[in-house]
């Protein structure tokens, strides 16, 4: 499918999911909390970009000293993040934007962060190249992502079930996100396994 059509279809899917998203992830969110905390403990500097902010699940973890700009292409998801931000959960500027075409200047942010996003970006390498572009030289990138298993049997199963996962929740369960980060030109510094090889915290850096 053409990338613009795929992006539009993904955006509309998230607009549809938005009212139910917090309920859908409610059961697993308890487990996610410590992973989110871990990811936000890794951010550096004051100017932070969060891409794919969704309904704002990371807002409570933003460092108090940080100036955060957070983007998402789904107006429905952003509406919920805005209402959370208005309740004073964090200081953040929320903007509607496609990760694959970020409307920021080069070298603008000290850290770029995302959680559970690159499973659904239609062209993940293009999105990661945009992150590389807007990150300052030597700046940090932290990603919390579910990825395909290194176990061949489980990987085969994940590939088989992937179309259903995309149809149901818009998420690919068979992405190789650390490899995609390397393809974008960022340098992967550490990949920490958080859950049976299928949830990873990826720490990367833009070359100086
Ligand atoms: C699974 S949700 C995760 C939301 C949030 N980061 C969290 O941890 O709960 C994925 C989010 O990425 C956003 N997203 C996916 N592709 C995107 C793109 N190309 N540009 C901007 N946002 C995108 C979706 O709208 C959705 O809000």
pTM above 0.85? yes
Q: Mean pLDDT over residues 130-140, rounded?
A: 98
Pocket test for ligand 1, best of 16, 22, 25, 54 (most atoms within 8 A of CB): 54
Query: What mean pLDDT value characterizes the chain?
Result: 95
Domain that holds residue 151: 3-205
Model pLDDT, residue 170: 82
Task: Answer yes or no: is pLDDT of 112 > 80.
Answer: yes
Please work out, in degrees rounded to the nearest 5, the angle formed at the alpha carbon of residue 18 by the alpha carbons of 15 and 23: 160
Identify the weakest region by mean pLDDT among 39-48, 145-154, 160-169, 182-191.
160-169
Residue nearest to atom 11 of ligand 1 (CA): 52
* pLDDT, tens digit (0-9, with 9 covering 90-100), for 167-198: 887 889 999 999 999 999 999 999 999 999 99
**For atom 17 of ligand 1, which residue has the closest CA?**
121
Contacts of 101 (CB under 8 A, 6+ apart): 130
With bands split at pLDDT 50, 70 and 90, how would you rate the model's confidence at 145?
Answer: very high
Q: How far apart are CA 93 and CA 75, in angstroms?
A: 14
The tens digit of pLDDT for each residue in 82-110 reads: 999 998 766 799 999 999 999 999 999 99
Residue 91: predicted pLDDT: 78
**Radius of gyration (C-alpha) of the chain in whole angstroms:** 16
In this prediction, residue 88 carries a pLDDT of: 78
pLDDT of residue 89: 62
Determine the average pLDDT of the residues in 1-20.
91
- pLDDT value at 146 more than 80: yes
**β-strand partners of 141:** 112, 204
3 state DSSP class of 80: helix
CATH of the domain at 71: 3.40.50.150
Q: Which atom of ligand 1 is nearest to the CA of 122?
A: 19
Q: What's the pLDDT score for residue 79?
A: 97
Task: Compute, in angstroms, the gap from residue 134 CA to the centroid of ligand 1.
Answer: 18
The structural domain count of the chain equals 1
Predicted confidence at residue 168, as pLDDT, reads 82
Q: Which pLDDT score is estimated for 59?
A: 95
pLDDT value for 190: 98
């Amino acid at each position: 499918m053409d990338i613009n059509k795929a992006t539009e279809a993904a955006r509309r899917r998230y607009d549809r999911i938005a009212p139910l998203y917090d309920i859908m992830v409610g059961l697993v969110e308890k487990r996610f909390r410590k992973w989110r905390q871990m990811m936000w403990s890794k951010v550096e500097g004051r100017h932070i970009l969060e891409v794919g902010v969704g309904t704002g699940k990371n807002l409570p973890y933003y460092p108090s000293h940080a100036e955060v700009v957070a983007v998402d292409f789904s107006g429905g998801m952003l509406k919920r993040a805005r209402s959370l931000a208005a309740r004073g959960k964090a200081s953040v500027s929320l903007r509607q934007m496609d990760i694959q075409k970020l409307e920021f200047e080069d070298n603008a942010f000290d850290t770029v962060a995302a959680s559970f996003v690159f499973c659904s970006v239609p062209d993940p390498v293009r999105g990661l190249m945009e992150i590389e572009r807007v990150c300052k030289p030597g700046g940090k990138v932290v990603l919390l992502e579910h990825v395909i298993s290194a176990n061949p049997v489980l990987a085969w199963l994940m590939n088989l079930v992937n179309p259903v996962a995309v149809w149901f929740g818009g998420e690919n369960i068979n992405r190789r996100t650390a490899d995609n980060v390397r393809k974008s030109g960022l340098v992967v510094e550490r990949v920490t396994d958080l859950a049976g090889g299928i949830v990873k915290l990826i720490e990367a850096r833009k070359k100086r």
